[in-house]
């Protein structure tokens, strides 16, 4: 489903709600009732001190309902803004950062690492056999596989780490302060956790496996997010071609 279709599907009911009359017929009836009441009492020579409280009470009721409706519309707008912001940041399938937002966060983290001279490593995680899962079991099962791997990743990293969906079946994990050897240990833990986890689709248990490549980023001042992208793309190409060459390590 395209982003435009997703946005349209979500916003239609809210747009319809916001498109309702700001002052429904009930409110007009209250105003008309108050005006008619005042006019009838005046024509009947009823004292003004009797007419005014009744008319003011009717108008006050109208204003109360109007304030409540305006408040409700503001809440709808806030909810819509929150949902749109989330869709701009979060991948809908995995509930992780999406590709674009992950790279923005990665750029910030790389700048911090350079500023403070900290080590920085990244893990590229590729779901092995993802296309086969998709071909044999369908899109729903494939999405389930991605969610299962994303759940393992979320439970395997620290709060300071940055995790996102990089591509169709690839994830990236940024590990601030981690040497390549530490990143290797994290990768082994993730690999073992995924291998021991399977999910069931239509009564069938589907085994999962991931390929993981450590992308050392080091403390090179010139290193930026574009270098990370280049290393990730190179690692993806090597893993899919069966290559075993290690990712380049900064001097």
Band (pLDDT 50/70/90 cuts) for residue 188 is very high
Return d(Cα 30, Cα 213) in angstroms, integer.
Answer: 70
Q: Which residues contact 223 (CB under 8 A, 6 or more apart)?
A: 110, 114, 217, 250
Question: Is the pLDDT confidence value at 84 over 90?
Answer: no
- Condensed to tens digits (0 to 9), the pLDDT of residues 97-150 reads 999 999 899 888 888 888 888 888 889 999 998 999 999 999 999 999 999 999
Output the pLDDT for position 218.
64
Q: Is the model's pLDDT at 77 over the cut of 90?
A: no
Q: Quote the CA–CA distance of 49 and 52 in Å, as a whole number.
A: 6
The model's pLDDT over 191-239, given as tens digits with 9 standing for 90+, comes to 999 998 878 888 888 899 999 988 877 655 556 777 778 878 888 788 7
- Give residue-wise pLDDT tens across range 16-48: 444 454 445 555 555 555 555 555 555 555 565
Write out the H or E segment, with its range, that includes residue 176: strand 170-176
Model pLDDT for residues 2-11, shown as the tens digit of each residue: 333 334 444 4
Predicted local confidence at residue 40, as pLDDT: 57
pLDDT band at 50 (very low <50, low <70, confident <90, very high): low
**Comparing C-alpha atoms, which of 181, 179, 183, 138 is closest to residue 157?**
183
């Amino acid at each position: 489903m395209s982003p435009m279709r997703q946005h349209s599907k979500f916003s239609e009911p809210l747009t319809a709600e916001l498109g309702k009359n700001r002052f429904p017929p009930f409110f007009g009836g209250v105003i008309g009732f108050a005006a008619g009441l005042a006019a009838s009492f005046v024509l009947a020579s009823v004292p003004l001190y009797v007419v005014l409280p009744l008319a003011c009470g009717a108008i006050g009721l109208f204003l109360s309902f109007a304030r409540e409706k305006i408040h409700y519309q503001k809440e709808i707008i806030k909810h819509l803004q929150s949902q749109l912001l989330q869709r701009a940041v979060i991948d809908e399938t995995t509930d992780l950062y999406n590709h674009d937002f992950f790279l923005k966060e990665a750029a910030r983290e790389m700048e911090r690492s350079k500023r403070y001279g900290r080590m920085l490593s990244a893990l590229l995680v590729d779901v092995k056999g993802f296309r086969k899962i998709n071909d044999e079991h369908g899109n729903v099962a494939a999405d389930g596989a991605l969610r299962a791997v994303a759940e393992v990743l979320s439970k395997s990293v620290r709060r300071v780490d940055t995790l996102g969906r990089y591509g169709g079946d690839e994830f990236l994990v940024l590990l601030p302060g981690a040497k390549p050897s530490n990143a290797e240990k994290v990768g082994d833990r993730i690999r073992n956790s995924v291998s021991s986890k399977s999910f069931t689709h239509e009564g069938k248990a589907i085994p999962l496996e991931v390929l993981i490549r450590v992308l050392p980023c080091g403390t090179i001042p010139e290193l930026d997010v574009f270098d990370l992208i280049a290393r990730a793309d190179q690692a993806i190409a090597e893993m899919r071609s069966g290559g075993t060459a290690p990712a380049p390590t900064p001097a």
